[in-house]
Amino acid sequence: AKDMGRHTYRFFKPAMNEKAVERLSIEADLRRALEREELELHYQPKIDLTTGLTCGAEALIRWNHPTRGWIPPAQFIPIAEDCRLILPIGEWVLGEACRQAQRWAEAGLWFGTMAVNVSAVQFCELNFAQRVFAILSQAGMDPKRLELELTESVLMKGTESTAPNLQTLRSEGVQMALDDFGTGYSSLSYLERFPVDCLKIDQSFIRQISAVGAKSTLVTTIINMAHTLKLRVVAEGVETKEELQFIKNRGCDEGQGYYFSRPLPSSVFTQRLLLSNSV
Ligand code: C2E
Ligand code: CA
Ligand code: CA
Ligand code: CA
């Protein structure tokens, strides 16, 4: 039995430790990633489905780790949220995205709005709205050019500062979008308590959509409901011509996905704007 125990120990415990150690090591490296300039933003265009022109850019974080290589955000954002490193990281993301937006604006390049993902941990901070205004004014950016993407988890966690933060930001013209729409719970009741400007239909609803079937009914219903509530609708994860046709036919306002473009380094995005969106 003792042998058995040791065997189990060997088989099971180290695997758990490895995971914990890995997590700690990512956390330690993440602390230094900002100073060492290992973090970078890529930008994915949003397309106005009526004109076919770029009408927005979503900033997506990338981490170029010195030994592990590129680590996707899904692997380190949750860790950053747990240890609250998401606060300085999120602050950097906002600043960097606003500076980039201002560079495009000053170069006469029309990019529409710059969208930035905001974690629930950030949004629940008491002074979040003030932080955003400070960053905007430092970058010299018009608040109307900024869009913040929140997930339903932000509204679900909802502290007493959630509604005031939302209201203050919107009163200055900052656009608010609800990300991954349809994947959380009781989305509709949140919309009443926490008014936003835009819904982003989660990619899982768009993937392999066909004219028949539950997905198509859901997407059609979300688009119509959003329009009744006077909200803009963006379809995420558009990968094929068929998916584009589907959302376009149903009056969806904007599309985003590999069909149009992958997220791009700022220099490549700039080239894209130079080719199509000069004013
Ligand atoms: P998200 O906000 O839902 O972003 C969309 C994700 O889908 C991005 O993955 C994007 O690269 C990917 N995507 C876009 N179009 C397509 C498509 O046509 N097909 C497929 N299969 N994927 C597509 P990414 O960049 O790996 O980001 C994953 C998630 O990490 C984001 O999901 C967001 O929740 C989070 N994230 C990224 N950057 C930040 C950030 O700066 N701050 C915070 N708090 N979270 C971030
Ligand atoms: Ca997003
Ligand atoms: Ca999303
Ligand atoms: Ca997502």
Q: Which residues surround ligand 4, an ion (CB under 5 A)?
A: 180
Q: pTM for this one?
A: 0.93
d(CA 246, CA 66): 43
Q: Please work out whether the CB of residue 72 comes within 6 Å of at least one atom of ligand 1.
A: yes
What is the pLDDT tens value at each position of the chain, 279 positions in all?
445 545 555 555 666 788 888 889 999 999 999 999 999 999 999 999 999 999 999 999 999 999 999 999 999 999 999 999 999 999 999 999 999 999 999 999 999 999 999 999 999 998 999 999 999 999 999 999 999 999 988 888 778 888 999 999 999 999 999 999 988 765 677 888 888 999 999 999 999 888 778 889 999 999 999 999 999 999 999 999 999 999 999 999 999 999 999 999 999 999 999 998 655
Interval between CA 27 and ligand 2 midpoint (Å): 23
What pLDDT score was predicted for residue 42?
98
The protein residue whose alpha carbon is closest to atom 20 in ligand 1 is: 237
Atom of ligand 1 lying closest to residue 74 CA: 30
The one-letter amino acid at 239 = E
Tokens of 139: 């970058």
What pLDDT score was predicted for residue 206?
94
What pLDDT score was predicted for residue 174?
98
Q: Please work out whether the CB of residue 117 comes within 6 Å of at least one atom of ligand 1.
A: yes
User: Chain-centre distance of CA 135, in angstroms?
Assistant: 18
Atom of ligand 1 lying closest to residue 122 CA: 44
Tokens of 212: 């028949």
Radius of gyration of the chain (CA): 21
Provide CB contacts within 8 A for 86, sequence distance 6+: 77, 80, 119, 121, 122
Beta carbons within 10 angstroms of residue 220's beta carbon: 18
What b-and-e string marks burial along 161-190, b requiring 16 or more CB atoms within 10 Å of the CB?
bbeebbebbbeeebbbbbbbbbebeebeeb
What pLDDT score was predicted for residue 1?
43
d(CA 207, CA 237): 7
Helix (H, G, I), strand (E, B) or coil at 34: coil
User: Chain-centre distance of CA 147, in angstroms?
Assistant: 10
DSSP of 164-204, one letter per residue? Answer: HHHHHHHHTT-EEEEEEETSSS-HHHHHHHS--SEEEE-HH
- Of 116, 108, 119, 35, whose CA–CA distance to 76 is shortest? 119
What pLDDT score was predicted for residue 14?
62
Contact present, 98 and 143 (Cβ < 8 Å): no
